[in-house]
Structure 1
């Protein structure tokens, strides 16, 4: 089981590298890594397990965050209608997105960033995502709201981008024109 000490922290060079594609079909080792990412995210959201093992709650985790520079992410998040989006994906890719932007009013956090970095993080309001599941199935789906933001955050990790790179350095809470404000 992954623990907090397995998660690399801000400043680690792997977080700024572009991760490599996972060759298909994935190796057993790659499958185990992807399963462990999902297991962490799910366990971290269960208060008893989170408290017992000192896990910081998270809704997504990318392989570079555990020092593996490969294109793998796990997301376990509910939208505003309590619909669960739970996906462990190899080689996730945004294939289309809206022009319209969205952001979380509360800002974003990251398991690799220990301090709170305030500010609005502009994201695409809607995305269409494609990836390969643990079972080898290629999936394609549309997302909006918190799930869309979460997937974009995790895919950024695969491209060496941190959430705070998107924050306006001069005015972190500057209004984002025509963007949807999302309450968490």
Structure 2
């Protein structure tokens, strides 16, 4: 079991794929612990390292140099830290950068309608392809703290909502494939409005 201190992830430490905890490790099935506030410097530096990993993984030169898989989200327990924090880094539909570090996040409300990725979801901790639909709320509102320890409340929808829920699941010891129907991977919930993210984008 890979339980680490965040002291490993000092400023400038470059997270590589060997640092990413893979499925089967018990830490990915444990509910993470709340981060103590005010935020400690070592926790802030760990978040900075996590964010830099996402940026490196999306940079062709850096990802080739360090042999990184591209990622848009990373939770602390995926690098061996059993803490309630994660980072997200991606571009929205208009090409604008969306960059957030979340500490002690909570989903405080969500839509009734749901969406799913037609190609299923992927995960840096899962090295195999997984088939099936993962139902997610179309929009969520999140409350937590940023990397400076300031409280933040934000709403996300579509792809970003899926990302938030994927990372929040990690913090609760849930893997994305746990939400796939075990009897029929492509069966969707019958009692709720649900559509493909692709259909949502083409509205």
> Under TM normalisation by the shorter chain, which class is it?
over 0.9
CA distance in 2, matches of 1:27, 1:157: 22
Report deviation, 1:174.
1.6
Partners of 1:5 and 1:127 in 2: CA distance: 32
Contact 1:79 1:145 in 2 (8 A): no
Q: In structure 1, how many angstroms separate the alpha carbons of the residues matched to 2:159 and 2:134? A: 12
The structure 2 residue matched to 1:89, chosen from 76, 79, 102, is: 102
Find out whether 1:134 has 2:150 as its counterpart.
Answer: no
SS of the residue corresponding to residue 174 of structure 1 reads: coil
Runs of at least 4 residues of structure 1 off by over 4 A?
none
Other-structure match for 1:180:
195
Greater relative contact order structure (CA < 8 Å, 6+ sep): 1
TM-score for both structures, normalised by structure 2: 0.87
Rounded to whole Å, the distance in 2 between the matches of 1:80 and 1:182 is 12
Cα distance in 2 between the residues matched to 1:113 and 1:132 = 28
2:184 is aligned with 1:171: yes
Unpaired segments of 5 or more residues in structure 2?
A: 1-13
Select the residue among 153, 162, 179 that pairs with 2:166: 153
Which residue matches 2:3? none
SS of residue in 1 equivalent to 2:86: strand
Alpha-carbon shift at residue 180 of structure 1 (Å): 2.6
Could you tell me which runs of 5 or more consecutive residues in structure 1 were left unpaired when the two chains were aligned.
Answer: none
- The Cα of 1:42 is off from its aligned counterpart by 1.2
